[in-house]
Amino acid sequence: MQRLAITRMVSRSIEHCELLHLQRQSIDVKKAIEQHKHYEDILGEAGFCLLRLPELPQLPDSCFVEDTALVFNEIAIITRPGALSRRPEIESIKEVLSPYRRLFLIQAPATLDGGDVLSVGKQVYVGLSNRTNRHAVSQLQKMLNPFGYTVLSIPFGGCLHLKTAVTLISGNILLINPDWVNPAAFHFDHVTVDKSEPFAANALLLNEFVLYPSAYPKTLKKLRDAGIKVRTVDLSELAKAEGAVTCCSLIFQFIGEKERNR
Ligand code: CIR
């Protein structure tokens, strides 16, 4: 099964990114580009066909493509990012995704960032945040219920996106920061982050292994002790922009047009 990953080159203006919970620090753009390239290389080595989009110099956060769309096997949903500065990012993502899926668009007054959506099989958890509102949850229900998905809203706090607080690390195990989201909201086993590493819950599950930031050694040990196969990547410069491993790609399966229309 062919798997694709959309990425976008780091913008030279990334220092002007949106920030919610972090103090602004200077970002070494050259290093950020190298780290992002290493991330892409790992996706390539893992067997993904990379759709690497060109830099958008005027859009500081545009490498964080996860926030612009949700791609399911049946359809893709183009978001309406909560931060005004990020809304123009969706235009080119629409074009890139349209050959692969039927597109649905989130409409005002809804706002939605892809980082707030955690999908586990047919369960879709949507974090209510500064960026994502209840209108988005009801629009997602209307779009996804016909395909058998259940969409649930999840309260959380203390971090930018739901997936800063919880991600999937195997078919049915979550990695979670219980100070930011209540593990009881999900009916899955979980590993908790080390207390000293609150930002350590964002991991990217890539079938054969979990791609994980090298910045969190204590939680990394917990993952390995739990039998999770992990590969690390250094994304320290993107972390200064409140970015992490899930947000730098949009991952989906190639499904031919005939199969999609069945
Ligand atoms: C923002 O605030 O929108 C960006 N600076 C960071 C977005 C990170 N996205 C994600 O975790 N899904």
- pLDDT one-digit tens code per residue, 184-194: 999 899 999 99
Ligand 1: distance of its center to the CA of 242 in Å?
5
Task: Give the mean pLDDT of the chain.
Answer: 97
Number of domains in the chain: 1
User: Mean pLDDT, to the nearest integer, of 216-243?
Assistant: 98
17 is catalytic: no
Catalytic-role residue among 17, 63, 159, 161? 161
The verdict on the CB of residue 17 being under 6 Å from ligand 1 is yes
Task: Label residue 262 by pLDDT band (50, 70, 90).
Answer: low
* Number of alpha carbons in the 13 Å side-chain half-sphere of residue 211: 23
Confidence label for 142 from pLDDT (cuts 50, 70 and 90): very high
Q: Which residue has the higher pLDDT, 104 or 256?
A: 104
Q: Is the CB of 212 under 6 A from ligand 1?
A: no
Q: Report CA Rg, the chain.
A: 17
Q: Is the dihedral of CA 135, 138, 143, 147 positive or negative?
A: positive
- Is 61 a pocket residue for ligand 1 (Cβ < 6 Å)? yes
Report the atom number in ligand 1 closest to the C-alpha of 164: 11
**260 pLDDT tier (thresholds 50, 70, 90):** confident
The pLDDT of 182-207, averaged and rounded, is: 97
- The residue-averaged pLDDT of 248-252 equals 98
* Residue burial 89-125, b: 16+ Cβ < 10 Å; e: rest: bbebbeebbeebbeebebeeebbbbbbbbbbeeeebb
* CA–CA gap between residue 8 and residue 167 (Å, rounded): 22
The CATH number assigned to the domain holding 200 equals: 3.75.10.10
- Cα 235 to ligand 1 centre (Å): 13
Confidence of residue 49 (pLDDT cuts 50, 70, 90): very high
Q: Give residue 204's domain range.
A: 2-260
For the cut 70, the answer to whether the pLDDT of residue 132 exceeds it is yes
Ligand 1 mean position, distance from CA 61 (Å): 7
Pocket test for ligand 1, best of 63, 159, 242 (most atoms within 8 A of CB): 242
Identify the band that residue 62 occupies on the pLDDT scale cut at 50, 70 and 90: very high
How far, CA to CA in Å, does 131 sit from each of 19, 81, 91, 113, 136? 12, 7, 18, 6, 10
Question: Ligand 1: does its nearest atom lie under 6 Å from the Cβ of 244?
Answer: yes
- Centre of ligand 1 to C-alpha 191, Å, is 23
Q: How confident is the model over 72-118, as pLDDT tens digits?
A: 999 999 999 999 999 999 999 999 999 999 999 999 999 999 999 99
Q: Decide if pLDDT at 261 tops 90.
A: no
- Examine the residue annotation and report whether 161 is marked as an active-site residue of this protein: yes
Flag whether the pTM goes above 0.85.
yes
Closest atom of ligand 1 relative to the 19 alpha carbon: 2
The catalytic residue among 17, 63, 247, 248 is 247
**What phi and psi, each to the nearest 5 degrees, are found at residue 215?**
-75, -10
* Å from CA of 256 to ligand 1 middle: 31
Across the range 34-48, mean pLDDT stands at 97
- Asked if residue 207 has pLDDT above 90, the reply is no
